[in-house]
Structure 1
Amino acid sequence: MTSEPDKPRLDCREVLEEVYLYLDEECSDVRRGVIKDHLEDCSPCLSEYGIEQEVRAIVHRCCSKEVAPDDVKERLRQKLSAIEQVSELFSEVAERDR
């Protein structure tokens, strides 16, 4: 793997641990660039990445039309509302204790 002097280097283990973050675009642009550089230069990791990417594409094709039932959506809304209320209560208590 070639690398510019100012760019961090990753070993294969690190790249494979982060491949899902890379695929989901959940890492910084700098980290994506470092991982991309490694994948371009390392055929074993590129092969593994290709497999991971294919699995993700298959799952997306098979499950992308799935819709949660209305009752599940409503329970989720209720839970999120309860969490928000508890968070607001904690914030009020913290402000009062200052």
Structure 2
Amino acid sequence: MDKGERDDPRAARQADCSEALLRVYEFLDGELGPSECAKIAAHLDECGPCLNEYNLDTTLKALIKRSCSAERAPDTLRTSIMARISTTVYRIDGS
């Protein structure tokens, strides 16, 4: 956090929101370590807009799971999607 964010609580909150929303699917999937989970959970407890987004994502994920449980995507499609996700995550984190 830079000096401007320390001086402006709203900027610090926006940074916390950005991180929480960026990592919400990792949180939902149990892919974060204990300290990251605690940080995201604490933020969701304090931030109504992020909690609403989390609830929407949880509902969407459950709906997709329920709707698609009988079918499996072809392996070539699954591989292509995973490659695109990996590329997108790398661009966000590694750029």
| Counterpart residue number, 1:43 | 48
Code of the residue aligned with 1:41 in structure 2: it is E
Give the one of 5, 21, 27 matched to 2:26: 21
Structure 1 residue 66, shift from structure 2 partner: 1.8
Higher relative contact order (CA 8 A, sep 6+): 1
| Paired-residue identity, % | 41
Query: Could you give the per-residue CA deviations for residues 15-69 of structure 1, whole angstroms, max 9, x where no partner exists?
Result: 0000000000011111111101100110010011111111001001011222467
The structure with more radius of gyration: 1
CA RMSD in angstroms comes to 2.4
Aligned partners of 1:46 and 1:17: how far apart in 2? 13
**Larger helix share, 1 or 2:** 2
| Counterpart residue number, 2:61 | 56
Say how many residue pairs are matched: 64
Q: Which runs of 4 or more aligned residues in structure 1 lie more than 6 Å from their structure 2 counterparts after TM superposition?
A: none
Aligned partners of 1:68 and 1:19: how far apart in 2? 24
What TM-score do you get using the length of structure 1 for normalisation?
0.57
| Counterpart residue number, 2:85 | none
Query: Could you give the per-residue CA deviations for residues 73-92 of structure 1, whole angstroms, max 9, x where no partner exists?
Result: xxx9xxxxxxxxxxxxxxxx
What TM-score do you get using the length of structure 2 for normalisation?
0.59
3-state SS, counterpart of residue 11 of structure 1:
helix
